[in-house]
């Protein structure tokens, strides 16, 4: 039988990418004692890796002949058939893997991949129901399957269950709105909600539904009016704090305004549009009352799951427009930490450092960014510019020349005005470096290229 003699190293690699190997192991990590069996298994993995699926199937079938009850081998066979779009044999292989070991998520995933690609939604449903035991996020797939199979009642009930625990994603919100458009699942509309509030002013849910309704139509002003009414009738409601924030800010009461803001930010069912509006109003107040900027720092992490807006970056832009370079650089750093692939945030941050004349940090940060993004021309320019300002001309020349390949030669047909401006600035900085290094030959070369560009 198979033993796991090499599992530790592979497990370490897989764990570093976030797999929950304490609960389950990737079948590819199985290590074999039998040399022939081991060779066949890794030959199958290798051939699949280079897309030689026929050879991979032959190799893995040799493993199955030796150990027909090995679920990992059946799973590997299924993956190769799936890559060939041989859905019948892929389904059979994954089914055998599941029959042999139904506690491995990978095997169920393989089966789901077959049904998903063949659009067999009915067969997908019980598989996804099983996958939810491994990953709660699979509930979104189940909602989509219910919608595609016209099981709207089940979809609506599952959506309600999901919404009770956390905020729905944009796709799930779309499905909910589609269902609510039908008579069977529609919520009371504006007039009905207003009437319900008049008759039963102490029922919080009617206010919440009306606030959500106005927000869905981008009518935040009306939503705030309802929140103000709610605050009057039910002062201890979290939703009442939507209006209380503004009330406290108007009274210059930053302490209570902050408390109300955090009540809103901590409410998972509160719409992001409302949270952004409240945060922006408090930010304007905090700029005029700097003691409360600490609350801005505390508030930003509440938007970490916002995939549309990098709040720290937007706060940095806000301070930049107000010529507060220290705060701008501080919040750009936070924004970059939150979104480490946001090139625009990095370039804006470097531009702020130029304006601050912090050339040492400018060169240091630009070079750090280059380690992750070696084709970004702006980072070469800022690093070279910083070193020239520090009179470290050799470093400036070296890094600028390294960047020239990307500035000039990389896709010149699409260079445009922006890249041409970068080219001009690159050559200007190179000329400065060469002049101070007494490299007259290179200086002349770059001067000639600069003249050509300026034409």
Within-domain flag for 403: yes
186-195, 303-312, 321-330 — most confident range:
321-330
pLDDT above 70 for 6: no
Per mean pLDDT, which range of 6-15, 71-80, 253-262, 413-422 is the poorest?
6-15
pLDDT above 50 for 25: no
Among 110, 134, 158, give the residue marking a domain's end. Answer: 134
Same domain, 47 and 105: yes
Work out the average pLDDT over 238-261: 84
Please tell me the predicted confidence (pLDDT) of residue 365.
Answer: 96
**What is the overall mean pLDDT for the chain?**
81
Within-domain flag for 2: no
Within-domain flag for 304: no
Same domain, 14 and 100: yes
pLDDT above 80 for 260: yes
Among 276, 298, 320, give the residue marking a domain's end. Answer: 298
List pLDDT tens digits, range 350-388.
Answer: 999 999 999 999 999 999 999 999 888 889 999 999 999
The larger pLDDT score, comparing residue 143 to residue 240, is at: 143
Same domain, 211 and 281: yes
Please tell me the predicted confidence (pLDDT) of residue 19.
Answer: 34
Please tell me the predicted confidence (pLDDT) of residue 42.
Answer: 77
The larger pLDDT score, comparing residue 211 to residue 418, is at: 211
pLDDT above 80 for 293: yes
Within-domain flag for 139: no
Same domain, 286 and 204: yes
Same domain, 149 and 205: no
Work out the average pLDDT over 30-46: 67
Per mean pLDDT, which range of 170-184, 327-341, 403-417, 434-448 is the poorest?
403-417
Same domain, 201 and 86: no
The CATH number assigned to the domain holding 27 equals 1.25.40.10
Same domain, 118 and 159: no
Q: How many domains does the chain have?
A: 5
Within-domain flag for 172: yes
Please tell me the predicted confidence (pLDDT) of residue 35.
Answer: 67
pLDDT band at 391; cut points 50, 70, 90: very high
329 is in which domain, residue-wise?
310-356
Please tell me the predicted confidence (pLDDT) of residue 407.
Answer: 64
Within-domain flag for 1: no
Work out the average pLDDT over 166-177: 79
Same domain, 315 and 377: no
- Asked if residues 356 and 325 have their Cβ atoms less than 8 Å apart, the reply is yes
The CATH number assigned to the domain holding 277 equals 1.25.40
Within-domain flag for 451: yes
Please tell me the predicted confidence (pLDDT) of residue 279.
Answer: 93
Same domain, 199 and 290: yes
Among 134, 159, 177, give the residue marking a domain's end. Answer: 134
């Amino acid at each position: 039988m198979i033993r796991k003699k090499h599992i530790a190293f592979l497990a370490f690699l897989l764990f570093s990418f976030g797999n929950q190997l304490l609960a389950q192991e990737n079948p590819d990590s199985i290590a074999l004692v039998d040399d022939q069996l081991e060779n066949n298994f890794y030959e199958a993995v290798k051939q699949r890796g280079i897309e030689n699926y026929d050879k991979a199937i032959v190799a893995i079938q040799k493993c199955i002949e030796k150990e027909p009850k090995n679920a990992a081998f059946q799973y590997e066979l299924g993956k190769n058939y799936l890559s060939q779009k041989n859905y019948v044999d892929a389904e059979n292989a994954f089914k055998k893997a599941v029959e042999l070991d139904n506690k491995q998520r990978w095997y169920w995933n393989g089966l789901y991949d077959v049904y998903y690609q063949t659009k067999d939604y009915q067969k997908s449903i019980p598989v996804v129901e099983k996958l939810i035991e491994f990953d709660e996020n699979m509930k979104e797939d189940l909602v989509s399957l219910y919608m595609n199979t016209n099981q709207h009642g089940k979809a609506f009930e599952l959506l309600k269950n999901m919404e009770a625990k956390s905020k729905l994603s944009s796709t799930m919100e779309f499905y909910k709105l589609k269902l609510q458009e039908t008579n069977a699942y529609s919520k009371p509309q504006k007039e009905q909600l207003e009437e319900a509030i008049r008759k039963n002013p102490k029922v919080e849910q009617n206010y919440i539904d009306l606030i959500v309704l106005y927000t869905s139509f981008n009518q935040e002003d009306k939503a705030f009016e309802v929140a103000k009414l709610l605050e009057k009738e039910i002062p201890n409601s979290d939703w009442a704090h939507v209006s209380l924030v503004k009330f406290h800010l108007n009274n210059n009461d930053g302490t209570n305004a902050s408390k109300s803001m955090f009540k809103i930010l901590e409410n998972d069912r509160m719409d992001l549009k409302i949270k952004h509006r409240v945060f922006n109003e408090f930010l304007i107040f905090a700029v005029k009352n700097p003691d409360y900027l600490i609350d801005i720092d505390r508030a930003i992490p509440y938007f970490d799951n916002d995939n549309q807006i990098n709040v720290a970056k937007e706060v940095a832009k806000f301070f930049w427009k107000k010529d507060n370079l220290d705060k701008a650089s501080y919040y750009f750093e936070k924004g970059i930490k939150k979104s480490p692939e946001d090139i625009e945030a990095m370039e804006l941050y470097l531009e702020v450092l130029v304006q601050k004349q912090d050339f040492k940090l400018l060169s240091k940060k630009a070079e750090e960014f280059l380690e992750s993004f070696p084709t970004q021309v702006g980072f070469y320019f800022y690093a070279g510019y910083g070193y020239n300002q520090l009179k470290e001309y050799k470093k400036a020349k070296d890094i600028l020349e390294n960047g020239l390949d990307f500035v000039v030669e990389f896709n010149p047909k699409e260079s445009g005005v922006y890249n041409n401006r970068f080219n001009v600035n690159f050559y200007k900085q190179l000329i400065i470096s060469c002049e101070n290094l007494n490299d007259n030959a290179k200086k002349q070369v770059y001067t000639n290229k600069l003249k050509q560009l300026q034409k």
